[in-house]
Amino acid sequence: MIIKTGSITVKGQVTIPKEIREYLDVRPGDHIYFESSKEGIIIKKAYSKKLGDVLTSAKPFDASVNESIKNIRDEWH
């Protein structure tokens, strides 16, 4: 477990400590999301799939086109 502190600017911005950024594997331009829990706030790296990634990871069509599209959409969500 890594425990670090940070401060909030007048604009409400927070600098994520280097050890936490490395642990989350986030870099400038990446997105993170905040999730509330009973223990506090959880910060996670937000992953976004690019269309090219989805298409290259999709299984070959072995059913009707409509079924295949549905399967790809299900994998996406």
pLDDT (tens digit per residue) in 12-22: 999 999 999 99
Q: Tell me, what DSSP letter sits at residue 14?
A: B
What six digits make up the tokens of 35? 């999730």
- Say yes or no: 42 and 55 in one domain: no
46-64 per-position pLDDT tens digit:
876 666 666 666 666 555 7
CA distance 33 to 40: 14
65's enclosing H/E stretch is helix 65-76
Mark whether 41 and 61 lie in a shared domain.
no
With a CB cutoff of 8 Å and minimum separation 6, the contacts of 32 are 16, 24, 26, 43, 44, 45, 46
pTM for the full model?
Answer: 0.54
CATH code for the domain of 4: 2.10.260.10
